């Protein structure tokens, strides 16, 4: 009886670790998606802030950030499915 309890405990620990790995993978996928949509906007805004801190006008960076945000908004509104993605096979 004691042997069965030991085995059951080991299975439970393995199951918990697997659940954590799945959660971390989902968070990583979500992070990559957000950065791919809004990465250009954030990069341009940071560039604009750095330009403003150096005492110059950052009108070009602000416009670039607005354009990147508009492009990300347009991408977010389009409906995508599995056929929307290209499957490239290297030979």
What is the C-alpha to C-alpha distance for residues 15 and 1, in angstroms, rounded to an integer? 21
Q: Would 27 be classed as within a structural domain?
A: yes
Tens-digit pLDDT profile for residues 38-79:
787 788 888 888 888 888 888 888 888 888 878 877 776 777
DSSP 86: -
Number of domains in the chain: 1
Q: Would 70 be classed as within a structural domain?
A: no
Determine the pLDDT at residue 23: 95
Q: Would 75 be classed as within a structural domain?
A: no
Residue span of the structural domain in which 54 resides: 20-65
Q: Would 25 be classed as within a structural domain?
A: yes
Q: Would 44 be classed as within a structural domain?
A: yes
Mean pLDDT of 16-36: 89
Q: Would 57 be classed as within a structural domain?
A: yes
Give the confidence band of 90 by pLDDT, cuts at 50, 70, 90. low
Give the confidence band of 28 by pLDDT, cuts at 50, 70, 90. very high
What is the C-alpha to C-alpha distance for residues 66 and 34, in angstroms, rounded to an integer? 17
């Amino acid at each position: 009886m004691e042997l069965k309890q030991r085995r059951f405990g080991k299975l439970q620990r393995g199951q918990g670790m697997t659940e954590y790995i799945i959660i971390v993978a989902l968070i990583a996928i979500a992070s990559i998606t957000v950065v791919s949509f809004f990465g250009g906007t954030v990069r341009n805004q940071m560039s604009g802030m750095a330009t403003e801190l150096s005492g110059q006008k950052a009108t070009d960076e602000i416009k670039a950030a607005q354009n990147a945000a508009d492009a990300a908004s347009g991408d977010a509104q389009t409906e995508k499915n599995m056929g929307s993605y290209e499957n490239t096979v290297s030979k």
